[in-house]
Amino acid sequence: MKNIYKSILFIATIAAAASCAKTVGEGTNVAKKRYFDAWMHINHPNLTPTWNGTDSEVGIYIMPEGEVAGDGVQVEKDGFAIVDYTQYSLDGDIVEYTSEETAKQLGEFDYSTYYGPKVLVTYDDAIPAGVRDAMLTMKVGGKRKVIIPSWLMTYSTYGTANAYLEHSCDFSSSIYELEVKDFCDTISKWEIKSIKEYILENYKTESAFSNDTTGFYFKADKIYPAGAEAFPKDTTIYINYTGKLLNGQVFDTTIEDVAKDNNIYSASKDYEPVRINWGEKYSELSMGTDESSTVSGFAMTLWRLKHVPGNSEWKDSCTGIFTSSLGYGYSGSGSSIPAYAPLIFEIEVVDKPE
């Protein structure tokens, strides 16, 4: 009975808003604004909108419950915020999320999918205008729940919150729960910092890896015997490899047991060593009989492999870690590799498969 009354009240509120609404200067989102204002009147009558952190006629609505100020650096425009978030519809349905726990609760968990903070670029047009405005008054460590009307879910950029009302959009109003985990003005610096933290945590010293190219780290897994040298041009070798994220999640491997141990095994995939075709420089390396190209960081890791002429028994192995500029960059790859993700590849030279 209570829900029925609330629905009737909501309909009545929309009708009242429509009858009293102005018809001049309201822009193309007038109908959406009437609906949204009615929803706010029923569900959050005491909240007022803000834009750029100040009171505004229209804007986002910051919900006080659960607000955490944070004690880290301030999120700024034209930077990179590393954020955990959940996006809801106004009906309370989850639209998008970063949490593994949420995936499990929804029955959507997949071992091959990356769960965790995502990099949100705070440049204009990179994320929804309302999400950006919500974050620009936050600090690292801060948490916030915010209601964003549909006209501020656009990726376009205009001068004021009111200006967004003048431009049509096909987006829906949303509720966001945001937690800022980190912020940087240059993404490469953050990725390099993350790689160094990974090396220190897992190898105890940064010197475990050489760093002769910006954003690229290499470690030989074996002591080179006398006579070890680079492979000559036109060599064909075979390798096994495993690709991982810095959190240890395996996203690809040629080794069946590794795939099974990490719950990414696919019966449709052939798990066997892959052919590598050498060239005069690392950018000319190719993979497989179809000679497909590889990401730069993987090729740079391969390029440092060595062999011992006349000694076919000795097989090299190594580990390469590199920033996203040498990997999949701002786009990532599928659901396994997020945007701006440093990658790890463990590679071992093996005999040609029978």
Confidence class for position 13, pLDDT limits 50, 70, 90:
very low
pLDDT for 319? 98
Q: Is 32 helix (H, G, I), strand (E, B) or coil?
A: helix
What tens digit of pLDDT does each residue of 92-104 get? 999 999 999 999 9
Report the share of the chain in percent with pLDDT over 90. Answer: 85
What tens digit of pLDDT does each residue of 295-311 get? 999 999 999 999 999 99
pLDDT for 3? 47
Q: How far is CA 23 from CA 44, 128, 151, in A?
A: 25, 27, 18
Q: Average pLDDT, whole number, for the chain?
A: 92
pLDDT for 31? 87
pLDDT for 27? 62
What tens digit of pLDDT does each residue of 168-205 get? 888 999 999 999 999 999 999 999 999 999 999 999 99
pLDDT for 207? 95
pLDDT for 304? 97
d(CA 209, CA 212): 10
pLDDT for 29? 85
- 81-104 burial string, b = 16+ CB within 10 Å, else e? bbbbbbbbebeeeeeebbbeeebe
What tens digit of pLDDT does each residue of 27-51 get? 678 889 999 999 999 999 999 999 9
pLDDT at 55 over 70: yes
pLDDT for 26? 52
Interacting residues of 316 by C-beta distance below 8 A, sequence separation 6+? 220, 221, 222, 228, 305, 306, 307, 348, 349
pLDDT at 23 over 80: no
What tens digit of pLDDT does each residue of 308-345 get? 999 999 999 999 999 999 999 999 999 999 999 999 99
d(CA 296, CA 145): 40
Provide the 10 A C-beta neighbour count for residue 37: 16
Q: How far is CA 290 from CA 107, 161, 206, 275, in A?
A: 39, 53, 38, 10
Residues constituting the chain? 354
